[in-house]
Structure 1
């Protein structure tokens, strides 16, 4: 089976790092399902490296890439981040999203210093599940094109737009309700809503919502505990909060 050229191998490995993704305006997508989703989208796939089996099963999808090369699963493993990959790896151009515009009738997630790539990918997937199209991120939140984020998002990165900005400036200018997830606050199961949208702020895994962002929270909310766990993973908390707010929105 064909190996990946030294030039491309170096290029792909460089895209594991944020500074090179930013410089090249490219990122990598790995695994059969995620690669097929990106090929089916209108995103620009610069290069596709795939096993003969993948190319034989998906010739039409593969034709969407600007360059296609057959290679072994071992070659994919050597340049990628997966512990095994017997399908494909795509080099994809980072899209240029339009500037964020406030959504008065929709929910927007706000992430204050979310550091773990797995958590960010999970939150993107949750947003996609609940029809939330935009996520505002603090500049120090993990890069959404980190390979671990892309893997955890399971294709949802194609449908949810992430915007990195100064959260204090954004929240200071809004008239919409700003809900913040805290250990103490209004019970999310018993909330009453006056508007069918607003902002949902989730804080850092270890420290919660920062004081700078916290001053703009109009309603502190909490997920009630029925056991003795100290806290919930931020991804799980995001799912519970989104589920309750989306359910309540139907009654606004």
Structure 2
């Protein structure tokens, strides 16, 4: 069973202030838990159903502490309405400050608030081989349980750096592309070289005024219908796909 102490701790990790204080977060669901156990990230505790532990006998070895529990207990302490597998309590990673690497594409997120959007963007970065995401300090926390669930294990391979964006972008050497409703079409861009920074703005307000002077090129996804805008996760996928394709043919 999950002890009262651990249940209280896991419930507290739903909130950013307690994740920061404890330097822990949690992962739930069979696939994501198995990925984190295989990753080498320090797992402080593993709670799994008898079925999960029976099918994955080596899982307990990768955690400092492992206990069987019921699906009902997992659902009470986690965020999933249905979880018949496991929850892992994991140490927060600590990344070095972001350093620009020539030729790399980097996503830059300016005040992205929705956890589902951030999780989707992390998965897109992983799919297209983007290893680093720069986030404004007021972007939603990468280890929010809803972000982790939406990222589907990609959070293990993509590093998120929370730093003042104007300070970082003011020093970079590569082009800074900003996603706007008006600008150069992503279908027809001419790229001088591979790599650069792709800035995506807040879901409601777009890229902040502070960053506008640092944008080298305004880019847009041409509309063929009458929708007012695209979800930021969808826009990210379209832009990244086009820039990766164009840069690979240069």
Shared fold (TM-score, shorter chain, > 0.5): yes
**Would you say how many aligned residue pairs link Structure 1 and Structure 2?**
250
CA distances 1:27-76 after superposition (whole Å, capped 9, x unpaired): 00000000000000010000000000000001113310110000000000
Tell me the alpha carbon deviations over residues 53-110 of structure 1, each in whole angstroms, 9 at most, x when there is no partner.
Answer: 0000011133101100000000000000111100000000011112211021110000
Select the residue among 121, 131, 134 that pairs with 1:133.
Answer: 131
In 1, the alpha carbon distance for the partners of 2:161 and 2:15 equals 19
The answer as to 2:52 corresponding to 1:54 is: yes
Superposition TM-score, scaled by structure 2 size: 0.99
Please show how residues 166-177 of structure 1 align to structure 2 within 5 Å: 166-177=164-175
The gaps in structure 1 that reach 5 residues or longer are: none
Question: Where does residue 71 of structure 2 map in the other structure?
Answer: 73
- TM-score w.r.t. the length of structure 1 is 0.98
Alignment of 1:1-252 (within 5 A): 3-252=1-250
CA distance, structure 2, for counterparts of residue 36 and residue 62 of structure 1? 11
In 2: Cα distance, 1:243 partner to 1:103 partner: 20
For 1:210 and 1:97, how far apart are their aligned partners in 2?
A: 26
Q: CA RMSD in A?
A: 0.6
User: After the TM superposition, which parts of structure 1 deviate over 2 Å for at least 4 consecutive aligned residues?
Assistant: none
CA distance in structure 1 between the aligned counterparts of 2:58 and 2:6, rounded to whole angstroms: 23
CA deviation vs aligned residue, 1:120-177 (integer Å, no higher than 9, x gap): 0000000000000000000000000000000000000000000000000011111210
Cα shift at 1:8: 0.5
Unaligned runs of 5+ in 2: none
Please state whether the residue corresponding to 2:33 is helix, strand or coil: helix
Contact 1:103 1:198 in 2 (8 A): no
